[in-house]
Amino acid sequence: MATAGDIRASSDTLFAGAARPRRANFGQILRWALLFAGGVLMVMPIVYMISTSLKWPHEIYDVSLIPNEPHLENYTYVLEDGRFYGWFINSLIIATITTISNVLFDSLVGYTLCKFRFPGRYIVFIAILSTLMIPTEMLVIPWYLMSQQFGWLDTYWGIMFPGLMTAFGTFLMKQFFETVPDDFIEAARIDGLNELQIWWTVAMPLVKPALAALAIFVFLGNWTAFIWPLIVTNSWDMYTLPVGLSTFADEADVAWELVMTGAAISTIPTLIVFLIFQRFIIRGVVMAGLKG
């Protein structure tokens, strides 16, 4: 437990507010005001998206942020269309299954590479490491051909299979398993646990923060993934939210309030999740960014 505590402690100190308190002077106030103005500008596109999704068509020409008569008609209209429900569910299923698969397999591989000594370990390590160099775009053509051959086009499996394991996740987890003392594993072995039980009941609970960071990254990545789902799906009921939104917005053309509503529907869920787990997610991003 000591190690997991250490990780948390170190990232806590990393973000425990500014390190150097000073008395407020004019410079400090100016700095704060500029930072605040910049921050407001940063969220403006999101705010405008939501604001426009609450406006009537004739109002979208108005630059004012607050709708004259805010209403939810656009949402009812877009959702009554029915397709967004399906896309939402598709994205949710795909992102969830991919996340579970990554959390299980990346950590299993990371754990094995970290804690076992066996012939071929180095080769497997280098082989997985080298896949980090291969861009997805290079693989989409062969993946497409593969999907066509095996009938995976336009299926959940077809959308999901390329992302079920990632080298990035494997290395992130390997780094974190380094912090699990070998003594714990030895002790569990003496207690008669088999290797699978040791991994699941002893090692995994010790790297929970890292698992959460990995889960956030994989989920967000798959929720927003565009190019592969665009290629592998061709009927609208199999679209994911980004692909669906792209075609929907292209059809909606000049009805910008509907486009903004669609965009809001696909963005708001991740924003809500972020607002709830804010500190936790930022810590996870730093962990994944610096260790991965």
Partner 1 sequence: MYRTLSIRQKQIAWAWAFLALPVVFYVVIRFYPTANAMVISFQDWNLLGERSWAGLANYQKLWADPAFWQVFRNTFVYLILGTPISLVISFAVAYHLDKTRFMHGFLRLLYFLPFMTSAVAMAWVWRWFYQPVPIGLFNNLLADIGIPQVQFLRSTTNALPAILAPAVWAGLGFQIIIFMAGLRAIPQSYYEAARIDGVSGWTVLFEITLPLLRPTIVFLVVFSSIGFLRIFDQVFNMTTNDPGGPLNSTKPLVLLIYQSAFTDFDMGYAAAQTVVLFLILLLVSLFQLYLLRDR
- With respect to partner 1, which residue has the nearer C-beta, 206 or 257? 257
- x-or-dash string of contact with partner 1, 40-79, rule CB under 8 A: x-xx-xx-xx--x-------xx-x----------------
CA gyration radius for the chain? Answer: 23
Which region, judged by CB under 8 A, interacts with partner 1, from 1-9, 35-43, 78-86, 172-180? 35-43
- x-or-dash string of contact with partner 1, 108-137, rule CB under 8 A: xx-xx---xxxxxx--x--xx--x-xxx-x
- x-or-dash string of contact with partner 1, 236-275, rule CB under 8 A: -----xxx-xx--xx---x-x--xx-xxx-xx--xx--xx
- With respect to partner 1, which residue has the nearer C-beta, 7 or 264? 264
Residue 83 one-letter amino acid: R
**What is the 3 state secondary structure string of the chain?**
CHHHHHHHHHHHHHCCCCCCCCCCCHHHHHHHHHHHHHHHHHHHHHHHHHHHHCCCHHHCCCCCCCCCCCCCHHHHHHHHCCHHHHHHHHHHHHHHHHHHHHHHHHHHHHHHHHHCCCCCHHHHHHHHHHHHHCCHHHHHHHHHHHHHHHCCCCCHHHHHHHHCCCHHHHHHHHHHHCCCCHHHHHHHHHCCCCHHHHHHHHHHHHCHHHHHHHHHHHHHHHHHCCHHHHHHCCCHHHCCHHHHHHHHHHHHCCCHHHHHHHHHHHHHHHHHHHHHCHHHHHHHHHHHHHHC
Which region, judged by CB under 8 A, interacts with partner 1, from 69-77, 80-88, 143-151, 174-182? 143-151
Which of 8, 71, 208, 279 touches partner 1 (CB under 8 A)? 279
- With respect to partner 1, which residue has the nearer C-beta, 1 or 242? 242
Which region, judged by CB under 8 A, interacts with partner 1, from 75-83, 151-159, 180-188, 279-287? 279-287
**CB 137, min distance to partner 1, A:** 5
- With respect to partner 1, which residue has the nearer C-beta, 206 or 281? 281
Which of 155, 175, 179, 224 touches partner 1 (CB under 8 A)? 224
Q: Which of residues 77-96 bind partner 1 (CB under 8 A)?
A: none
Q: Does 33 engage in binding with partner 1 (CB under 8 A)?
A: no
Which of 79, 100, 164, 215 touches partner 1 (CB under 8 A)? 164
- With respect to partner 1, which residue has the nearer C-beta, 40 or 72? 40
Provide the 10 A C-beta neighbour count for residue 130.
Answer: 10
**CB 155, min distance to partner 1, A:** 16
Answer whether 146's CB lies under 8 Å from 152's CB.
Answer: yes
Q: Does 223 engage in binding with partner 1 (CB under 8 A)?
A: yes
Provide the 10 A C-beta neighbour count for residue 66.
Answer: 9
